[in-house]
Each structure stands twice: as structure tokens, then as C-alpha cells.
Amino acid sequence: MGCAAIIVASGSSRRMGFDKLAAGIRGTPVLAHTVNAFMAAKEITRVIVVCPEERFRLLHDVDAIKPLDRVDGGAQRQDSVANGISLLGPEDLIVAVHDGARPLVRPESIDECIAAARQFGAATLARALTDTIKKADSEGFARYSVDRSGLWAMETPQVFRTSLLRRAYVALAEKQLTVTDEVSAVEAMGISTKLVTSPFPNPKVTVPADIHLAAALMMS
């Protein structure tokens, strides 16, 4: 069973103030770094980028050794991913969904998540929380600690069979639910996702300082 990547890159970057996916890290756009990682992953056979046409042009220097396609995004993340899946046809495949703004993902981590999804049906790269976690009140004051045991921060890629994601999106539409990631979509159907430990920094570029952080991590 082949594995396609769907890279979600259709957001407006409102919090950034400029197109974060076009920002350069060591002379290469954020989105191009992300696509290059999936081109290098052994298990990936095709890459679909969900983005506007002008953003897709950022990939002109990518060494597209695998099929590279584009599709428009939707109103919500789940709509954008569904648009990407629609390009894959009716065949049941493995699909790895990834944030375009996570340029530091390693090819070996992508392959590890795919292997876990083949075994367990659903898998995601994630990071166990190690910081002290506090619950704040409405005025921004820390009130008490939250037990961090068993708490994980979700990352991407999140990997599933396309048939599973299609069923999940139909169920979400019937219940009129909106989710922020694919793990939550299948979770709404009562399906658990295997957590794969993220061994390397895999932050999402969200604010301008993250560009400098990503550049420093890329050189380490």
C-alpha cells in the first residue's frame, strides 16, 4: 500500500503579519524545506500541497523526484485535507498529513510514523510534555499545577488510511463538528492513534521569532 503526503499550507499567516511559508531559512522558503523532507522520506510516493497557486511557486527549486501536485484549500483544515485526499482517487492508501509550517521534520521520523500507521492503523508524531504545566485564571494568573503525566503535544505528520479519514470527515460533517487536527477527527469516531515520539525539534513556525529558532536548529 503506497503512502502519499498531504502538506497543508493554505493558511493566511495572520499572526505572522507576512507569508510565513515564504520566509527564508538559510536561503530556502519554509514550505520548500517541508516539501524536501517528504521528497527524501523513503515511504512517500507522492506529495500533494494544499495551497494557493502563488504559494506553490515557492517550490520552483524543489528537487521533485516524486510526483508533486497542488490543490486549493478549504474553509477549515479538515476541508483542506479532504481536498487533498480527493486527488488520490478511490484506492485505499496510507496518507501522511503534515503542517507546511513545520520545516524541521526529519525524513526518518516521517517513515517511522508511516510504519506505525501500517501496524496500528493510525499514528502521529508527538512530544511528551516535560515542562511544569499550570492552569491560569481569566486574568492570566497561574492558579495550580496540572499533572503532566500522560500529556503529549501533537505534532505532524499524522498518518492514516485514506478510507479512515474519509469516514471521519463524513462523521464530522454529520455532527457539524470542527477539529484542528486529524487525530481529533478519528478520535471523534472512537479510534485511538499511536503516538510516535518526536526525537528531534519539530516546531511549527507561528510567530517571527520562530524563523530565527528554526534557522538555529537547522544549523545544530
Whether residue 169 is contained in a domain is answered as: yes
Whether residue 142 is contained in a domain is answered as: no
| Gap between the Cα atoms of 201 and 220, Å rounded | 11
The pLDDT of residue 219 is: 86
Looking at the structure of the chain, the number of domains it has is 1
The pLDDT of residue 18 is: 83
Whether residue 141 is contained in a domain is answered as: no
For the domain that residue 74 is a member of, what is the CATH number? 3.90.550.10
C-alpha torsion sign, points 20, 23, 26, 30: positive
The pLDDT of residue 14 is: 66
Q: Which residues span the domain enclosing 200? A: 3-129+156-219
The pLDDT of residue 114 is: 98
Whether residue 33 is contained in a domain is answered as: yes
8 Å CB contact between 17 and 82: no
Compute the chain's Rg from CA coordinates.
17
pLDDT tens digit at each of 220 positions of the chain: 789 999 999 987 666 778 999 999 999 999 999 999 999 999 999 999 999 999 999 999 999 999 999 999 999 999 999 999 999 988 899 999 999 999 999 999 999 999 999 999 999 999 999 999 999 999 999 999 999 999 999 999 999 999 999 999 999 999 999 999 999 999 999 999 999 999 999 999 999 999 999 999 998 7
Whether residue 140 is contained in a domain is answered as: no
Query: The pTM is what?
Result: 0.95
Alpha-carbon dihedral angle through residues 87, 93, 94, 95, given to the nearest 10 degrees:
10
The pLDDT of residue 17 is: 72
Whether residue 112 is contained in a domain is answered as: yes
Helix (H, G, I), strand (E, B) or coil at 47: strand
The pLDDT of residue 12 is: 76
